Amino acid sequence: MEVYSKAETLELRKKHIGPSCKVFFAKDPIKIVRAHGQYMFDENGEKYLDCINNVAHVGHSHPDVVEAAVKQMELLNTNSRFLHDNLVQYAKRLTATLPEKLSVCYFVNSGSEANDLALRLARQYSGHYDVITLDHAYHGHVTSLIDISPYKFNQLGKEAKKEFVHVAPSPDIYRGKYREDHEDPAGAYADEVRNIIEKAQKNGCKIAAFIAESMQSCGGQIIPPAGYFQKVAQFVHKAGGVFIADEVQVGFGRVGKNFWAFQLQGEDFVPDIVTMGKPIGNGHPMSCVVTTRDIAEAFGASGLEYFNTFGGNPVSCAIGLAVLDIIEQEDLQGNATCVGNYLIGLLKEQQIKHSLVGDIRGVGLFIGVDLVKDQLKRTPATAEAQHIIYKLKERKILLSADGPYRNVLKFKPPMCFSMEDAKFVVDQIDELLTELEEATQSRVKNSLPTNTQYKRKLPTDGSFQLESNNENISPVNGTICRHENGFSGESHTMACKRIRT
């Protein structure tokens, strides 16, 4: 099946692919030749458990997605200047998952195209230009989005922030300005945004938009406290701007209880623009911006046509429809809740056992494990996180570490992730943490005062206020959680061979 050996592939990659395009595990990258469900296989047939691929949302190579694509590709793949059922059918289905006022779609090809268009919509509608973004945010790779992504532009030096960009503190109640012991972190973080708006206005700046991921992903798996978005939206609307919820990483049921992560904030919150991406087509390049009729009409009033060559083509829409069907038919939201709660529970056991585990935060299958050198000071354990990632890779588990300090283990697996997968990965993490603590002679104890341990106010759903036992691994709301890979009976390979990294 292979055309080139791994060494040749690497050599050709060095020759012909831009050096800015990095591989995972640069010291010893992985060559993947096939994938299925939550498993990926390298050129030697070694099986990896995929804990990070939120694009392969309904599982790698899902047969229904392939079938939908083929069926439509054989018939027609053309642009949206012709009428086609798939486009409108998909728009109807997609908007049905959203609050009523979010009814107008623009189909594009990537999260970056979606966020860029969201900015264009906001600016045209508001007549303003400035943007408020969260610290550590990443919204995409095109010029306009690097500009509003501190995760990127901070790397370019102090001069890199443009004047029209205003950075609000990330609503991180573990490591941020207002923490879990604050009486109203949502209000306090929202007040920061209000202050930014007031200061900007004093300087003659006008706010077009506030943009935030509904949960920050690259920013370190941050779940904003419930009520924060409502308050921010009030201030932003008052300033004549709009609220853009970036669901590129976190949408399509990943949080379990809700289809969209912004809904964790409460039913009274509705963004003005929602952008979607990664999971929408299970890997097929497609994405979408959904907004209100008012904003869409204002955008249209400029007279400029919006044409996107590939956006909304019948193949992309057929795939989008198949993904929605699978999420429903396989109750992947139920699975996300159930397996996610179980995984969070197992990780909280690790938190008690290992001093390196500072914080466990998550909802559904979006979970962060914040590693610290010191539980009280919350000093990021960056090197330790990198060590664990590399060691897990040796054990055929794909996990990543992100956040401003690259110390947050980041779970965002395909939504068919099972209880056994969760148990397997946490067992491995347990072993690695034990080894690491023994090697560094750190005490295996929990130095965190017990009274603050579970005090975080997580949004709306009490179900993730898990105690560190296994009570919550049973079915939730009648959902049967996945106990093993639905595609095959293969068991995990316990590859414990150690390679120096």
Measured distance CA(147)–CA(154) in Å, rounded: 10
Tell me, what DSSP letter sits at residue 222? B
Sole binder of a copy of itself in the list 38, 217, 316, 418 (CB under 8 A): 316
Measured distance CA(76)–CA(315) in Å, rounded: 8
CB 353 within 8 A of CB 448: no
Measured distance CA(302)–CA(133) in Å, rounded: 26
Structure tokens of 341?
Answer: 């709660």
Note whether 206 binds a copy of itself by CB under 8 A. Answer: no
Helix axes 382-394, 419-439, angle to 10 degrees: 120
Sole binder of a copy of itself in the list 143, 203, 441, 450 (CB under 8 A): 143
Note whether 201 binds a copy of itself by CB under 8 A. Answer: no
Measured distance CA(31)–CA(92) in Å, rounded: 39
Tell me, what DSSP letter sits at residue 265? G
Note whether 401 binds a copy of itself by CB under 8 A. Answer: no
Measured distance CA(35)–CA(48) in Å, rounded: 9
- Looking at the Cβ atoms of 27 and 199, the one nearer to a copy of itself is 27
- Looking at the Cβ atoms of 117 and 409, the one nearer to a copy of itself is 117
Region from 194-202, 311-319, 353-361, 379-387 binding a copy of itself, contact rule CB under 8 A: 311-319
As measured in angstroms, the least distance from the Cβ of 29 to a copy of itself is 5
As measured in angstroms, the least distance from the Cβ of 96 to a copy of itself is 10
As measured in angstroms, the least distance from the Cβ of 446 to a copy of itself is 35
Note whether 382 binds a copy of itself by CB under 8 A. Answer: no
Site for a copy of itself in 147-166 (CB under 8 A): 152, 155-156
Give the type of residue at 19: P
Sole binder of a copy of itself in the list 49, 51, 58, 104 (CB under 8 A): 104
For 479, the enclosing helix (H) or strand (E) is: none
Residue ranges of the alpha helices (H) in 354-460?
382-394, 419-439
As measured in angstroms, the least distance from the Cβ of 302 to a copy of itself is 7
Note whether 304 binds a copy of itself by CB under 8 A. Answer: yes
Strand-strand pairing, 130-134 and 165-168 = parallel
- Looking at the Cβ atoms of 296 and 347, the one nearer to a copy of itself is 296
Note whether 65 binds a copy of itself by CB under 8 A. Answer: yes
As measured in angstroms, the least distance from the Cβ of 341 to a copy of itself is 27
- For the chain, report the end-to-end CA distance as a whole number of angstroms: 28
- Quickly count: other Cβ atoms within 10 Å of residue 62's Cβ: 23
Note whether 347 binds a copy of itself by CB under 8 A. Answer: no
Note whether 324 binds a copy of itself by CB under 8 A. Answer: no
As measured in angstroms, the least distance from the Cβ of 461 to a copy of itself is 28
Note whether 286 binds a copy of itself by CB under 8 A. Answer: yes
Sole binder of a copy of itself in the list 46, 297, 467, 471 (CB under 8 A): 297
Query: What is the distance, to the nearest Å, from the Cα of residue 80 to the centroid of all Cα atoms in its chain?
Result: 29
As measured in angstroms, the least distance from the Cβ of 390 to a copy of itself is 15
Sole binder of a copy of itself in the list 49, 51, 56, 197 (CB under 8 A): 56
Sole binder of a copy of itself in the list 59, 227, 277, 459 (CB under 8 A): 277
Region from 202-210, 233-241, 292-300, 369-377 binding a copy of itself, contact rule CB under 8 A: 292-300
Structure tokens of 90?
Answer: 């998909």
Note whether 485 binds a copy of itself by CB under 8 A. Answer: no
CB 397 within 8 A of CB 39: no
Sole binder of a copy of itself in the list 269, 299, 342, 464 (CB under 8 A): 299
- 12-51 mask for a copy of itself (x: CB under 8 A)? xx-xxxxxxxxxx----xxxxxxx----x-----------
Query: What is the distance, to the nearest Å, from the Cα of residue 184 to the centroid of all Cα atoms in its chain?
Result: 25
- Tell me how far apart the 2 most distant CA atoms of the chain are, in Å: 67
- Looking at the Cβ atoms of 302 and 470, the one nearer to a copy of itself is 302
As measured in angstroms, the least distance from the Cβ of 160 to a copy of itself is 10
Measured distance CA(323)–CA(281) in Å, rounded: 6
Site for a copy of itself in 105-134 (CB under 8 A): 105-106, 108-113, 116-117, 119-120
Sole binder of a copy of itself in the list 27, 46, 76, 495 (CB under 8 A): 76
The HSE-up count of residue 191 (CA atoms within 13 Å, CB side) is: 7
Backbone φ and ψ for 53, nearest 5 degrees, come out as: -90, 85
R_g over Cα of the chain: 22
Note whether 326 binds a copy of itself by CB under 8 A. Answer: no
Measured distance CA(260)–CA(278) in Å, rounded: 14
For 47, the enclosing helix (H) or strand (E) is: strand 47-50
- Looking at the Cβ atoms of 95 and 493, the one nearer to a copy of itself is 95
The three-class DSSP label of residue 166 is: strand
Sole binder of a copy of itself in the list 230, 308, 386, 442 (CB under 8 A): 308
As measured in angstroms, the least distance from the Cβ of 110 to a copy of itself is 5
As measured in angstroms, the least distance from the Cβ of 490 to a copy of itself is 17
Measured distance CA(266)–CA(262) in Å, rounded: 8
Helix axes 63-75, 314-329, angle to 10 degrees: 160
